[in-house]
Structure 1
């Protein structure tokens, strides 16, 4: 029999935690050692119970799963975090990577996929749900800003107008507008201010 793996479940929906606990109870080598309904509780519980794996929901009240993952991986480096996400939240994959998570599993994943993911991350390996792989493979190409786009975003963050940016970079205002449109699309931002806020939060610019 494989070595025992201890798990902590962090999700704000009791029905989800219950379903996970039930699913994992069918695997003799996996033991659930705690449950948390928000990020702060997950960190506190992980510090006490020292689980091998933390199954972390992304959207929770108060501290979200990504912020909790960042802190948890610093405080309890022996615990591997498995991000437990809905398919509609796949745009958060990049942030999950940066937060220190070891793997990603969809809430819709079959039982065997969940077990494989837990075993992999418990072993220190990375794991990505097969259904999310296309997003991972295209992430760098589609989501990341080019050097020029980052440069323009930094100037916008410094308070420059399109005309100022155009003059500084020796390009036309139309070209600046085109770059700004691409930046908004890639960052899924509504306005320039929103794009700057996202870029600062994600440390794309400083």
Structure 2
């Protein structure tokens, strides 16, 4: 296959070793060409504008602008952009955020060697690619109430070992308001207590590890 006909790929990740690993996998694919690399969301948008790749592989956790923001920005400017998330997280909440932002694929870093080439081809052909276990987790929680941004802030501070009073001081709200938010969090996550709630939120990607 000629370079002109190959699927042109942009890789966005702040770890050079991971980008090198992806490049090594792509080198073995006659129908693919790595055309650019970026280390954060801002670089990714600039590279996309310059290169117009067929498929973009986007990490979520990056300094500066993260992957979710970058995906949303790219899809606003380039509605036809085909983007797959690269992540270590299996959480349904994070996957749902990425898909709502405009990602068409979700690729776990642990699956790169086995799944990368097929994922790129499927995305280029216009299909969505979501691992079965993540799709099942998303379906399982699709009717759940989502946590508000304030509830997530309360839960994150609780996960850091802060008391209700300390959480209230940090957020500038009354202690009783913190208790009300935490009660809502426990109900929405079906959690026994705040420790259980934090564990659930980390597993589902509501909180970052």
Q: Structures share a fold, TM > 0.5? A: yes
CA shift in 2, pair 1:181/1:52, >3 Å? same
Tell me, in whole angstroms, the C-alpha distance in 2 between the residues paired with 1:64 and 1:78.
Answer: 20
Measured after TM superposition, the shift of residue 179 of structure 1 is 4.3
In the alignment, what sits opposite 1:34? 36
In the alignment, what sits opposite 1:182? 187
Tell me, in whole angstroms, the C-alpha distance in 2 between the residues paired with 1:49 and 1:103.
Answer: 20
Unaligned runs of 5+ in 2: 152-172, 195-205
1:81 aligns with 2:83: yes
Tell me, in whole angstroms, the C-alpha distance in 1 between the residues paired with 2:31 and 2:67.
Answer: 26
In the alignment, what sits opposite 1:193? none
Measured after TM superposition, the shift of residue 73 of structure 1 is 1.3
- 1:122 pairs with 117, 121, 124, which one? 124
In the alignment, what sits opposite 2:8? 6
Query: Highest Rg: 1 or 2?
Result: 1
Measured after TM superposition, the shift of residue 89 of structure 1 is 5.2
> What SS does the corresponding residue of 1:108 show, helix, strand or coil?
helix
1:52 and 1:78 in contact (8 A); partners too: no
CA shift in 2, pair 1:137/1:89, >3 Å? closer
- 2:22 pairs with 20, 23, 27, which one? 20
1:113 and 1:129 in contact (8 A); partners too: no
1:50 and 1:76 in contact (8 A); partners too: no
Count of aligned positions: 166
CA shift in 2, pair 1:5/1:177, >3 Å? closer
In the alignment, what sits opposite 2:62? 60
In the alignment, what sits opposite 2:145? 145
Tell me, in whole angstroms, the C-alpha distance in 2 between the residues paired with 1:177 and 1:96.
Answer: 26
1:37 and 1:60 in contact (8 A); partners too: yes
Measured after TM superposition, the shift of residue 75 of structure 1 is 1.6
